[in-house]
Amino acid sequence: MRRKLVAGNWKMNGNTEFAAEFAQDLKAKLDAAEVTCDVMIAPSAPYLALLANAFSESNIQVAAQNVAQFDKGAYTGEVSASMLSDLSCQASLIGHSERRTLFGETDEVVAAQVSQLVEQGITPVLCVGETLEEREAGNAEQIVENQLKAVLERFSVDQLKNLVVAYEPVWAIGTGLTATPDQAQEMHAHLRSVARELDEQWADSLTILYGGSVNSKTAKELFAQPDIDGGLVGGASLKVDEFFEICQSA
Ligand code: PGA
């Protein structure tokens, strides 16, 4: 049985006061309620230590939004996987569409980032997704399959044992346009079948999140789909009540 996971991606939002208050509120809400899913928050890098500290006695995981593809050295502005480990970060997003389109990160870069994370025992949360043009041209499955295979082809099942995949159609991110539960389920099933080519058992245990305008109204039906194991939540993760409601629907 796969456990559900709800991960919040704060993107470049928040400050010290916001992060401290959010952490306190979320912890209190989760302590007081029966929430059975795993919960993860990905703040901007300057707030990783604050959250790791605030969540140290809880099960809430802290994730980075990105990681360097190199291990150390003259890479101004970068944050290495060993630094994330040093800050008690359990996971890192990689290959988010904003990183791919705005910062030119390619499948090769993403694979190098996986390698760094695997070395440090940090969970890679690999984001994949097609643009609207790619979907309309009928290429969605192929595009997303290629993004996943770019990682699967380079690593062993053992190295990828903690991998999480997040399917995020680019046209649904921050637009209010959620993929329908059927559209999302179809892609998740496809991704799992691609993963089966590497290893059947591993594919069955692989967590595949859906992301793209998830909110407390759409979460329940999305998360009820057989191959959707939770969500990667952007905008709606900035409001603690809304985010908590999403966790409750998982
Ligand atoms: P959104 O973002 O929920 O605001 O659409 C999701 C994401 O980019 O991870």
Domains of the chain in sequence order: 5-249 (3.20.20.70)
Packing angle between helix 107-120 and helix 140-152, nearest 10 degrees?
40
Question: Which of 5, 6, 10, 11 has the most ligand 1 atoms within 8 A of CB, as the residue to mutate?
Answer: 11
Give pLDDT, residue 29. Answer: 97
Tokens 């179809």, residue? Answer: 186
Give pLDDT, residue 154. Answer: 97
Active site residues: 96, 168
Give the C-alpha separation, 176 to 173, whole Å.
7
pLDDT digits (tens, 9 = 90+) for 111-163: 999 999 999 999 999 999 999 999 999 999 999 999 999 999 999 999 999 99
**Residue ranges around ligand 1 (CB below 6 Å):** 9, 168, 173-174, 211-214, 232-236
Q: Which residue, by CA, sits nearest to atom 7 of ligand 1?
A: 234
Q: Which residue, by CA, sits nearest to atom 2 of ligand 1?
A: 234
Mean pLDDT of 206-233: 97
Residue 9 CA, ligand 1 centroid: distance in Å: 7
| Atom number of ligand 1 nearest to Cα 98 | 8
Residue 66 confidence class, pLDDT cut points 50, 70, 90: very high
Mean pLDDT score of the chain, rounded to an integer? 97
Residue 212 CA, ligand 1 centroid: distance in Å: 5
For residues 179 and 214, the answer to whether their CB atoms sit within 8 Å is: no
Give pLDDT, residue 153. Answer: 97
Residue 52 confidence class, pLDDT cut points 50, 70, 90: very high
| Atom number of ligand 1 nearest to Cα 232 | 9
CB-based burial of residue 31 (10 Å sphere; 0-12 exposed, 13-18 middle, 19+ buried)? exposed
Q: What are phi and psi of 227, to 5 degrees?
A: -105, 10
Give pLDDT, residue 155. Answer: 98
Going by C-alpha positions, the residue among 165, 161, 148 that lies closest to residue 121 is 161
Residue 207, SS3?
strand
